[in-house]
Every structure is written in structure tokens, then in C-alpha cells.
Amino acid sequence: MTEETKAVEETAENTSNTVSNTIDLAAIYGVKAGMTRIFDEAGNHVPVTVIKLEKNFITQVKNSEKDGYTAYQVGYNTKKDKHVNKATKGRLAKANVASGLTRFTELRVDETKAEDLGKELGLGNFTPSTFVDVTGTSKGKGFQGVMKKYNFAGGPAAHGSKFHRTTGSIGNRATPGKVWKNKKMPGHMGCQTKTVQNLQVVEVNEDKGYMLIKGSVPGAKNSWVKIAKSIKK
């Protein structure tokens, strides 16, 4: 009985240590690996985006007494040691994080704890059927006209017409006699921060390191995306 009791206590200690080394926040960062499809239990076809799960760590804890607000600084995007500068290495060493992280962001929270420094972000808030908001940088399209950029109708396609794909009139009458700010004009398209809301998590596989989200998300393949708990669900 004594040996069994010790074994149970050791198991409980190991479990508590595992839990204490992770923290569940309202957002996590991953890599968009691409899209595929799966079939659910009813045989329905479900288009999904595959998110490659990468390690996220708490690299700094900010509190209202010292910094004026409460937030966790999260580090991700592991690189080789030679690609990390000395200042970042010192910050990671202070946080007791061995990974060579190169990207950092802040997540605001209501309350922070100093003992959370160096912990890895868990996936407890992103179980299947959970609704999330996914933020990423949209694909760059270069310089584009108003028909592609803003879905303008354009002019007649007949040979006699001299108005085909151009902008059209952009001015106002004599008063005020100017082009208004934010007028829809040709220009650079894409490369903007976009958020798609209320997407559903279909599957989370921590062992193989991926997450399946129903539908499409912003950004190109191998780009970083922010997965956060939905604010409207």
C-alpha cells in the first residue's frame, strides 16, 4: 500500500507540474499551412484551413504598478540561435525560455501573475466546436485598378466607348472644388490586417501539432495568424 500511495502521489505531482508549466489565454499564434477538406460523421463535406501549431511562450509580464496596464508579452516563431540578437537572447534568458523566439506581441488581460513568466500557452480555450476570430495579413496584389480593387462596374466594352476600366469622375462641383479624402482610387491592394470572425474549430491534434478551422482565413500559406476566442459568440 505504501508503494502504491507513493506512485499515486508522484503521478499527482507530475500532473500538477505539467499543468503549472502552461497557461490558457484568449489568443494563440499559429502558421497557416493551407486548406483541405474533411467529412464529418454525417458524411458532409467540410472545407477546413489547417493551422500548424507552434510553441508560444510568455516572455514578459506587465502589471499596472510598473507599466500602467496588465498584459502578457507572447513570443513565437522559433529560429536558429544565430538569427536571434543579443538583446532578445537576454530577454529570453531572463524569462527562462530556451527557444530562439523572434516575434513578440502583447495580449491584454485583466490580471497578470509574475509566476507565469516563461510558461507555454496551452490550447484549453480552443477545443472543437469553439468559435474563434482569425487575424492575418491578406495576400498582396500589387497596384490594381478600381474594378479589381473595389469591384467597380466599369464602362461599356464597345469600340466607340472611351470609358472602359477607368475610374470615372472623381471631382465635386465648383464648391468645394476638390477631391474628397478616402476617395476610392487605383492603388496598392492587399497586405492589410484582416479578421474573419466566428469561425468554428473542427479538430485540435496536439500530438501531431495541427488545428482544423472550418472555412478560409486571411493570409498566404506559411504566414502567421492570430487565433482568438470569438467576441461575438
pLDDT > 70: percent of the chain: 91
Secondary structure of residue 161 in the 3-state scheme: coil
Q: Which of 230, 232, 231, 226 is nearest to 28 (CA)?
A: 226
Q: Which of 30, 86, 80, 48 is nearest to 200 (CA)?
A: 48
Q: Which of 58, 128, 61 is nearest to 97 (CA)?
A: 58
What is the reported pLDDT for 15? 46
Strand order in 120-121's β-sheet?
22-23, 120-121, 57-62, 71-78, 101-108
What is the reported pLDDT for 13? 55
Q: CA 110, CA 193: separation in Å to the nearest integer?
A: 25
- pLDDT-derived band at 171 (thresholds 50, 70, 90) equals confident
Domains and CATH numbers, the chain: 22-54+125-153+184-233 (2.40.30.10), 57-119 (3.30.160.810)
pLDDT > 90: percent of the chain: 84
Residues 141, 187: contact at Cβ < 8 Å? no
Span 194-205, pLDDT tens digits: 999 999 999 999
- pLDDT-derived band at 6 (thresholds 50, 70, 90) equals low
Q: Grid coordinates representing 32?
A: 497557416
Span 101-150, pLDDT tens digits: 999 999 999 999 999 999 999 999 999 999 999 999 999 999 999 999 99
Span 60-110, pLDDT tens digits: 999 999 999 999 999 999 999 999 999 999 999 999 998 899 999 999 999
**Residue 20 or residue 184, greater confidence:** 184
What is the reported pLDDT for 11? 52
What is the reported pLDDT for 98? 84
How much is the mean pLDDT over the chain? Answer: 91
What is the reported pLDDT for 26? 95
